[in-house]
Structure 1
Amino acid sequence: MVTIKDVAKLAGVSPSTVSRVIKDHEGISTPTKKRVKKIMEEIGYTPNITARNLVTNRANTIGLVIKSGVHEVNLNPFYSEVNLGVSKACRENGFSTLTTSASNDDSLLTEVKELIGSKQVDGFILLYSRMDDPIAHFLNTEGFPYVVIGKNIFGNNDITHVDNDNVQSAYAITELLIRKGYSEIVMVVDNDVFAVAKDRIKGFEVAMETFGLSERGRVVKCEDEGESIRHMLESLFRNGRPQALLTLDGVLNSRILSYLYQLEIRIPSDVATATFSDSLLTKLASPPQTTVDIFPQTLGREAGEEIIMLIKDPNRSKKNITVPTRIIERQSTQGGS
């Protein structure tokens, strides 16, 4: 069995130094940390996490909170990609992750309280931002560390936020559609409560107004149910056929594509389609979808690194981090004039 002494001997340091590297002690230089961690990896040494937690009084675990009311969470690539980014940051710093979600705010708040009460987590990452959120309010009241993947909707500097510029990215994808010759554009959303939805709607509306097309574009909200989506599409194409559909995210987009197929509406010859958040859902769609790539792994990694540093230094300055986006143009928007 590989021991801490074996690591110390190969690294040319004392066992206490190895122990401090495992605890990410500030008194150990970065080169020494890298050398010791490399040797630990090469010889397969795994620290005794339970014993270390007893010493540090930490769970070395980050809780990921997914917004309540989100259906098909396990099928949404955004959450798995963000989780992957967070996990990478955590793994490099000796932390693990724990995901919590619920169908309503009360249940979600109860879960968060239980995790804190049982000391199972050291901090949280909220994968959303919205007004009057009971989870954020509780964490603020308790002074418990957390980071938000989402917009700083309150404009203060008390919490670190990691986000894209969703207004700008929605403006950019709408501008692309307009410049390709589409003017009758409908933005389809399945929620308008969270900050990300509000900002994407705003970017779309600003772009349509800028190009003098406000009267030819509109936002349509549908329920997150199959028949509701189908009836919405039937109504749209019965009462003035839109030239392009812009959806709020890749999951909603995939459902729209399915019903367009059933209604024998072809893409892009009958209608163009575009969406946000690139993934296998959009890359492998038929046809492949034009998307705004929001780099969810980068969002997760940035948030993971920030919450870990905040746990280690509660007085750390808070910041707003903006992850750039890019448009990936594919076959779904190749029908413009």
Structure 2
Amino acid sequence: MATIKDVAKIAGVSPSTVSRVIKDHKGISRETKKRVRKIMEEIGYTPNIAARNLVTNQSNTIGLILKSGVYEVNLNPFYSEVSLGVSDTCRDKGFSTLTTVEDNDMRLLEEVRELVNSRQVDGFILLYSKERDAIMDYLMTINFPFVVIGKDVMNSGDAIHVDNDNVQAAKEMTELLIDEGYEDIVMVVDNEVFAVSQDRIAGFEQAMAANGLSSKCKVVQCDKDESSIERMLVDLFDHTPPQALLTLDGVLNARIISRLYQMQIRIPEDVATATFSESPLTKFAAPPQTVVDIYPKELGKEASNEVIMLIKDDNRLKRNITVPTRIIERQSTKKEEDKG
């Protein structure tokens, strides 16, 4: 079995230099790092990461915390795009990533505690934001580095937050629908707990009120299962059918347009549809969906940059970073006279 001394001898450097290469020490030149890593690969040397962690008290690993069910995470392109942004940035900076997914708050908290106590991670990225969150409270109590992808709901300035302006994004999307001539607009949500949901609802309601449409402003909630979505849509279209449906995210939107197809309700002829978070679910839908692009990969990149800098300097200024959004208008909201 190859050892660190074998690597050092072939490379013509000291074992301590090889050790610093493994740690991605900034004092080692790029050329030396490249040469030593190539030799490590050629002779099959694998660093004892566990032993190194005990010595350095660092794992060079960032933990991603997703408060959701595994099925929803696998289904939602938002999480994969954020994770891609995180992993790309972490890899460039010599860090790996570890993801923990759980929809039960207490079990998730126990997993986080275990990761901290076993020194498996140096910092966390929380892919959600909500009030009175036990995990955030725990990490702040022990002064453990973390960054939140989401809003600073407590407005405390105690943590670094990376987010979009979801209120403004929802206002702009609602304004677009109103400008297209839609007045009876219904916003459909499947979760009102997280800050992103509350902000998008607030932006929708503000835009409707600003245009004198408060009486036509309606927010309805449904569960994620197909039967709940069907009941909600049947109830809506059996009474006064809405002119447009604005959904909370692309996954809910996909489920709704699938059910509308089964109900023989045409988009956009019978009802317009629009949503948040660009992905293949929206781009390749039938018809393609008007969407607010929230740039999830950029959210991941910004968050990972911030948490790595926080690990290196725990006195780093806590701040809120806003990633811009844009609206992509497609066939799902265009009236017949607007086409062609």
TM-score, normalised with respect to structure 2? 0.89
Whole-angstrom distance in 2 between the partners of 1:47 and 1:304? 26
Q: CA deviation at 1:169?
A: 0.5
* Structure 2: stretches of 5+ with no match in the other structure: none
Whole-angstrom distance in 2 between the partners of 1:130 and 1:209? 26
Find the counterpart in structure 1 of residue 126 from structure 2.
126
Matches within 5 A, 1:144-293: 144-293=144-293
Matches within 5 A, 1:138-149: 138-149=138-149
Whole-angstrom distance in 1 between the partners of 2:218 and 2:259? 20
Query: Once superposed, what is the RMSD of the aligned Cα atoms?
Result: 2.4
Whole-angstrom distance in 2 between the partners of 1:52 and 1:112? 21
Q: CA deviation at 1:215?
A: 1.1
State the number of aligned residues.
Answer: 330
Q: CA deviation at 1:23?
A: 2.8
Q: CA deviation at 1:69?
A: 5.7
Whole-angstrom distance in 2 between the partners of 1:109 and 1:307? 19
Contact 2:7/2:40 (8 A) holds in 1: no
Q: CA deviation at 1:150?
A: 0.2
What does the per-residue CA deviation read over 1:203-245, in whole Å, with 9 as the maximum and x for residues that have no partner? 1011111111111121111122211110110111111111110
What does the per-residue CA deviation read over 1:21-77, in whole Å, with 9 as the maximum and x for residues that have no partner? 54344556xxx44x4555567778587261543432212211111124685211110
Match of 2:193, SS state, is coil
Whole-angstrom distance in 2 between the partners of 1:322 and 1:121? 26
Contact 1:8/1:15 (8 A) holds in 2: no
Runs of 4+ in 1 over 6 A off after TM superposition: 6-9, 40-44
Between 62-71 and 204-213, the greater mean CA deviation after superposition: 62-71
> Would the alpha carbon gap of residues 155 and 329 (structure 1) be closer, same or farther in structure 2, given more than 3 Å must change?
same
> Would the alpha carbon gap of residues 5 and 99 (structure 1) be closer, same or farther in structure 2, given more than 3 Å must change?
same
Tell me which amino acid in the other structure corresponds to 1:48.
Answer: P
Match of 2:148, SS state, is strand
Whole-angstrom distance in 2 between the partners of 1:120 and 1:178? 50
Find the counterpart in structure 2 of residue 76 from structure 1.
76
Contact 1:205/1:214 (8 A) holds in 2: yes
Between 219-228 and 43-52, the greater mean CA deviation after superposition: 43-52
Contact 1:59/1:121 (8 A) holds in 2: yes
> Would the alpha carbon gap of residues 259 and 107 (structure 1) be closer, same or farther in structure 2, given more than 3 Å must change?
same
Contact 1:18/1:36 (8 A) holds in 2: no
> Would the alpha carbon gap of residues 283 and 143 (structure 1) be closer, same or farther in structure 2, given more than 3 Å must change?
same
Q: CA deviation at 1:271?
A: 0.6
Between 258-267 and 219-228, the greater mean CA deviation after superposition: 219-228
Match of 1:257, SS state, is helix
Contact 1:236/1:242 (8 A) holds in 2: yes
> Would the alpha carbon gap of residues 41 and 334 (structure 1) be closer, same or farther in structure 2, given more than 3 Å must change?
farther
Find the counterpart in structure 2 of residue 302 from structure 1.
302
> Would the alpha carbon gap of residues 236 and 36 (structure 1) be closer, same or farther in structure 2, given more than 3 Å must change?
farther
Contact 2:60/2:96 (8 A) holds in 1: yes
Between 50-59 and 134-143, the greater mean CA deviation after superposition: 50-59
Find the counterpart in structure 2 of residue 322 from structure 1.
322
Whole-angstrom distance in 2 between the partners of 1:302 and 1:314? 17
What does the per-residue CA deviation read over 1:152-175, in whole Å, with 9 as the maximum and x for residues that have no partner? 112122211000000010011111
Whole-angstrom distance in 2 between the partners of 1:186 and 1:43? 61
> Would the alpha carbon gap of residues 243 and 336 (structure 1) be closer, same or farther in structure 2, given more than 3 Å must change?
farther
TM-score, normalised with respect to structure 1? 0.90
Contact 1:145/1:310 (8 A) holds in 2: yes
Identical positions, percent: 63
